[in-house]
Amino acid sequence: MVPTTRIEVDVSASASPSGRQWRLEGDPGAEGGPQEAASPLLVSLAADLADCPNGISFVYRALERMAEEQGWHDVVLVLDEPTIGRQVFRSGRGAPWEADVRLARDLLPGLYADGTPVRHGITETLTDLCSVALRIDLFRHDASHDSLTGLLNRRSFEELLVQSTSRSVRYGWPFALVLIDVDRFKALNDRIGHEGGDRLLRAVGAELRRSLRAGDVAARMGGDEFALILAKGDAELVTALLLRLESAVRDALEGETTSFSAGLAMAPLEATDPTELYRLADRRLYEAKRR
């Protein structure tokens, strides 16, 4: 068995009511620190990364295990890189800014234990593992979401539609599949330009995220077509939503107006097969656009 070496840090007991002084890199007293890294723990954390459900959970788990292994009371990790931006995490999921007034704003990237920078290879290794975990979260998000609007993409929506219809058949839970198109989008896009068209689509995405309830789902299926899964949705709910979308477009495009058409199909009342449900909503969307 590989022996575990404890990592010692220098803590000033008179610095704050909590008995710690959060020192910035370069401050007097920040020198010293650990002499050896807890390599068995880091190896174990690297293995945990493969099984962790998401990056955030991994980061907090890593800080908790590090604190337990080393006997630290308070651990803070500061990350700062272009992919994930500046991120500050505190063990116990505590608010980082409560550690000290300078913590969130001024601390350099790295690991801090009970107020003192941990200056050793352990910091670099832990930082790398946590950065990878958070980047994996971003990759997962990008793979399932539309980059322009932030809504789900077609593939993710189709998977959720299959799940929703299966639950509807099994438990009788009703939902509405709604397909939405921007009326005369091509002509509008030609007039206001592609940048204006993108602003319109982003406005639609933002309004859908604001307006939908917990449990509802929204996706951009491609071009100017959007799809929704609305729990216990009905035509009245869809009409109110379309009015909010029109208002959002006017605000985003400084008075430019447009309208929306929608097709709605109900599960399990009208169909229980996702393909048939989609076909029904699409036909009704086409009929609405011809009016």
Round to whole Å and give the CA distance between 175 and 268: 8
Q: Given CA atoms 96, 98, 100, 105 in this order, what sign does their dihedral have?
A: positive
List the one residue out of 29, 272, 22, 26 whose CA is nearest residue 171: 272
Asked if residues 24 and 102 have their Cβ atoms less than 8 Å apart, the reply is yes
Round to whole Å and give the CA distance between 264 and 243: 16
Q: Residues 224, 234, 273, 282: which is the catalytic one?
A: 224
The number of CA neighbours under 13 Å toward the Cβ of 263 is 20
One-letter amino acid for residue 269 of the chain: L
Q: How many beta carbons lie within 10 A of that of residue 75, not counting itself?
A: 25
- The bridge status of strand 116-117 relative to strand 217-222 is unpaired
Round to whole Å and give the CA distance between 208 and 217: 9
Residue 101 phi/psi, 5-degree rounding, is -65, -25
Q: Is 80 a catalytic residue?
A: no
State the distance between the two ends of the chain, measured CA to CA, in whole angstroms: 76
CA 146 to each of CA 99, 108, 155, 159, 227: distance values in angstroms, whole numbers, following the listed order: 37, 34, 10, 15, 13
Print the SS3 string covering 197-256.
HHHHHHHHHHHHHHHCCCCCEEEEEECCEEEEEEECCCHHHHHHHHHHHHHHHHHHCCCC
Active site residues: 224
